[in-house]
Chain A
């Protein structure tokens, strides 16, 4: 569905920001992108969405090339992008218009719009803020609205660029379960995050290190075999605990149930 073929990118000549990155993501995958601050994760996200164009190599979404302006339009209709800073995404003066704006852009029929707005805002529990100004919301409320605006568009793929960084623990869980629900319904999810516990529930990890794709594979293999500190990352709590207790891997998915079942087996 999405292919990076020998992609290179720099903002200024002489720099190397993205260096020969290759990967293919199939429709319906749940992929996490991790890496140090400044390693190039958001740049990769913007290359996927065609907000940035490769200096060398190609980025294709379902055979559509981001460098072709007509095809780029079609990509925008199918790829949703929740920005790292929700304020970069806001352009209107009310929460309702914010969600409507995206729908108008992709030409959703008028009679369908209001229903979509309500459903999306309800999913992130912001339905009471229809008339509020996006810039006057709390930090976490802004993130929720930014997510709702993309959900309403019902794209084929969503890129979440650290979209849960300002949410309270419960809100984070909710958004994560929204991502998994969408994934169950067949949507492709790309989740950029610094929260290692969130990564455990992905199907696949891409590790970006100084603009290079350093690892591409299973999260469990990743945490068992890579020296993650080298990439400014840490083991998730469950993996630290598993190692200390010397228990077997399935335990890691849900450590509380893991402990309970260990206890009752013995």
Chain B
């Protein structure tokens, strides 16, 4: 499915949160959304989910305008999976089990199937069955977030939107989640919209990056182009580069040598940069 916004603006009473945003999100991609605090990222993804009833401009899915009610207001789009920036906003059942069973039940899955899928999803998120009878509020911050993500994956969404899904996760759980999301996205060839402040994660996993600044979409580029060739765009709006890219640029600056890399993944950058650094440092002695 292709999701498209044409000249979309969102006005809140105090301010304009999105200004004339136009973009197209193709199927089968990991698209990251970045920008400073208050830039409009969460507003943008809430528009995609149909959570903001009144928008100016057009929203199309597969070229078809999204359905509106009699008053012209958008409605929540059920096929889109959405994980809120604060997981507390979506955990409303009395136990973790009910929370995870909610979406599949609505989709008409049998109890037996539900129990089976729950047993499958828990280990993928590093969660133990012991938490099933607990109330969501009894979980620690990071566990709550993982339950929120699990419950959305249970609905097998067509498009998955995750707003800062790694905030509050310990480092190993974070990597596990990112790999799980990548696997999901590639296996079913669907689109993932990933809002994040972690430039390292964005550089490591995305195909494409959308950049917001003060409510405007100021760029939609492939990840390598953004971080390696158009990095001035990020510097201009005060977003830092991933540390591995900073390393690459520093060694390039010190050696005066251009180092060719095909991606901005940390492992590749280390592999290409370290030999140059070591060789040149020895020559200098």
Contacts and interface: CB of A to CB of B under 8 A. Distances in A.
Q: Are A and B part of the same complex?
A: yes
Contact of A232 (B171, B200, B251): B171
Interface in A33-72: 35-38, 42
A38 B254 contact: no
Interface string A155-170: 0000000100111111
Contacts of A260: 250, 254
A141 B141 contact: no
Interface in A118-167: 131-132, 136-141, 144, 162, 165-167
Contacts of B239: 168-170
A266 B284 contact: yes
Contacts of B246: 256
Interface of B: 12, 14, 35-38, 41-42, 85-86, 88, 138-143, 146, 163-164, 167-175, 197, 199-200, 238-240, 243-244, 246-247, 250-251, 254, 270, 274, 277-278, 281, 284-285
Given A167-B37, A168-B239, A170-B240, A234 B142 contact: no
Given A139-B85, A166-B197, A256-B246, A263 B141 contact: no
B168 A194 contact: yes
A168 B197 contact: yes
Interface stretch (A22-30, A98-106, A237-245): A237-245
B270 A38 contact: no
A93 interface: no
Contacts of B140: 37-38, 42
A245 B173 CA distance: 27
Nearest to A35: B170
Shortest beta-carbon contacts, A-B, top 8: A37-B142, A140-B37, A234-B171, A169-B240, A232-B172, A165-B167, A232-B170, A139-B85
Nearest to A12: B138
